[in-house]
Structure 1
Amino acid sequence: MGEESIRVLIVDDEFIMRQGLRYMIHWEEEGFTIVGEAANGKDAMDQIEKLQPQIVLSDIVMPLMDGVDFTVAVHHRYPHVQMIILSGYDNFEYVKQTLMQGVVDYILKPTLTPHELLGVLQKAAARIPGWHPDHAMTGETAEELLKELLLGETKTGEELQKVFAASYYCMYAVTIAHGSERAAETAELLCEKIQRAKSEFSGVQSCVALMKKEQICVLFGYEMSQRSMLRIKLEKLNGEIGLMCEDTIGIISTPCQSMGQLREIYQRELARGADLSFYYPGKKLFVMENEKDRIGGTIERFDFTRYNRLLLGGQYRQAADQLLGYNHALCESRADVYRMKNQIKNMFMVFLDMLQLEEDEKLRVQEHFLWEVDAAGERLSYEQTVAQIASEVADISAKQNTKEDARMDQILTYMEQHYTEDLKLEDLGEKFGFSYNYLSAYFNQQMNEGFNDYLNRVRIHKACEILQDLTVPVAQVSALVGYSGHSYFCRVFKKYTGKTPSEWRRDSIEK
């Protein structure tokens, strides 16, 4: 970006979520810098004063100061700061309170994608007073002009065109594989090697740009008569680079005749160079003009609704199978590796959240799984890793089911003993360690009826027992089984027995 990056502060009490956000997009390349993190609203207020962020990305449910109070405080003290709210559940009535305080937008954590996150960040950036992207290139070098063109900071490449007067253009990129140690230092050494080798390409125009810490891109301008020579020399150069560093692959782009096409070609063929080593381990040079196997296919979106329903219903094996099937489809389509891994990690985190594990245990398991996924550098080892994690999670869920069944027995016993009280599902969830949404779905799945229906059934059964005692007036029965109103009790009683309480008593006497 022409101006300095936009400063962003991340506020979330979950360490895993903060890490997930940090690695969900290429922040610097998109024009944003994460200047700090905070675990609660109180600490975040101190961070804002110290770091002066322009955008704050905040969870809505936090200790010490929740998202609503935090939003109000930020809006009052720092009205220029743009707020984006993260929510774990689709609870619009709660989130709406933050929207009234000028929040840019809110996004759901379980379904958050890199594309959605970047879109909301860009929406927030557009509201920053006095901020305008300025991509003026006066006085810049050819290398700077090339980098800005390929990253989309300029559209036409008119300034670069003045430096290159050729009929044809192609690019050669050297990419250091994901996970390579000392990638930045290696890139600088390779960049020097390529700069020295440029002299061997006689009569061909060129410039070198270090695109990011693991990729170098070279633009060549040439005539048709030089095409074969250029290809031979690039193959030789790529071999020499491979001897210097085993963790590299080279890519020769499809040629074109217009500077305006370079950005699209770079994004399609070169930007995801490390993905090629992931899908084609051992191959060192890709000539995209001849390459039959392309990366970046598209598949249908993940059915999160079904996945969430399976998890809420305790059908963990089926949820794990769905996740494995989708991951395989992503690999078959040769999806963007960075985004694919992030999506699968997010789905695993949702899975573990549903298991209601102890916080320390959940963090330990999550950190282990996230590390395993990130460390897988090739498709085969990656799919094996995901399958192993899915199996481990399914094993954890099987043990968790046993614990949940025991807790469900405790809940049913408690309801039998306290049916006369004002029982609420959220209170039982808190008492027995279930979230409201999870307990609601789990109760339905285990009992084949909702919580209120089951409670009514227990109360009506008790009412029938009391009605057999003729010394108890019918009008008093409703209060004895937990109903505050007699008329409502009568309607519920008839729904379950087909008779009014008086009719039921009369018929039981006649029998």
Structure 2
Amino acid sequence: MPSIMIVDDETIFRKGIRLMITDMQSDWIVVDEAKDGAEALEKLEELQPDLIITDIKMPRIDGIQLQYIVKERYPHIACVVMSGYNDFQYARESLRLGAKDYLMKPFQREELYVLLAKLQEEWLMDKRTNQSHGMDQQVQNGMRQHVLAGLLTGSVHHGEAELLENVGIQFPHAYISCLIAKLDRDSVTDERYYQLNPSLFSIYIQQFIQESLDEYFKGYVFIHHETEVVALINHEQVASIHGDIEKLTNRIRKEIRVQSNFTLTFGLGSPAKDLESISKSYKEAGLALLYRLVIGGDRLLSNEIVAEMNMEKHDWHAADWHSLNQYVQEGDLANVQQQASLYVTKLCQEWKDPEIIHQQICKMLLHFYELAVNLAVVKQWLQNTDVKQVLVEIYSYSSSKELIERCQKLLGDLTICIGNRQKKMVTSPVEIVVRYVEEHYAESITLNTMAEIVYLSPSYLSSLFKSKQGQSFIDFLTEKRIEKAKLLLLHSDEKIQVISDSTGFTNIRHFNRVFKTIMNRTPSEFRDGKTIAVREPFKVK
């Protein structure tokens, strides 16, 4: 039975349409309702209805945006749009996107019934066709995505024309230019960005650009990374291509700003003469896009435009991280976030070269990485990544807002890690050392190691430990190791060499010497005698 989801921000319309369909006594069933496009997308993955009946104007994700995303993610789902008289231009846009029809509010139930009867016939025909061809098309689409990505990395060459043909990729004209589109994060509120899945913005942008591109050029638009949409534009002329693409991107930016209330920045590479040169065009587009850091977004950036910029460099003194460093070590999260934002903002204002901005931020992060190493919190801080990956990631950002958010996250996490470790120090550094020795006596342990763990100097820890425990740290460590060795000698058949190794001694000769000094007998004599001498607290000679 064919299924329907109803999407409208007015409850009365949703309930009214559901009642009409129920009264129709047809095969159509209403599987669910949604109050806007965002809620609909949350439910689509599970429900997979055959038809969506959606209003045009709704909060968060409207009907137009919903159709763009559905067209990319669920091309088998049909759409019917509802609109008021004043929204007809939006309904026309929906029809251009492939909507099956539109209903002008308020509509009569007979009008809905005729439409659904027609769509049911189409659904039955499509179902029979898709059963034989649907999977093949899905596989081809996946392969096409991989081949397009391979063109960007240079792993697909001119001699592999048959591979392109097999997945439906054709470049009939002489040149190919790479265009990268990225959402301007500062044009979207945090609430809106994080309330939705950020990848939905890329899907919407991809479909929007593809629709616009198809009117003027031959080309392919795809999502290369979660936040990066790439267009490979095939064209015959070189002389006018920059101006033509600039007109296209200006139109796209204007329409997206009006319809969806956010902005895009484009990076454009130089025309490639063959498949091998596409990767060069892609790199050039990415480099041009980096200058969004310097001159802002909502524009087209290319080598030609960047070359015309005044790249005069300002004097920049050695970066001063004193305040930021102090707040991180003090666990002052609020001030860390503020200082990180100020630091990145100042860099972007003072420098006209994105490469130097990235370099300065990486130097700052390396400073804090060294601090994390010294405080033994690197693993807790970076979790499943490492500092190299972090630095590479920094170079991928071309938005000051993204850089600020990433630096705030990194330094905020480090601040929390240090704060958590310092909370443990509230009990007693000596207790932590004692517990550590109990658990790790078989490992290589030094006073310096313990000092780093409890954030004290070795000399101060040595003095504090002796005053609290009544013996030096080395005597305490040695006593613990000998106690473990005695238990193994008395209650196991392990060889003395094995016992020496398993209790933290560097070699058996050292073990024998220390054991005899403390117990007045060798390990072998102790094992044979089966007695333990009573003694005063010992001191290693």
Range of TM-score over shorter length? 0.3 to 0.5
TM norm structure 2: 0.36
Give the greater-gyration-radius structure (CA). Answer: 2
Q: Name the structure where helix makes up a greater proportion of residues.
A: 2
> How does the TM-score come out when normalised to structure 1?
0.38
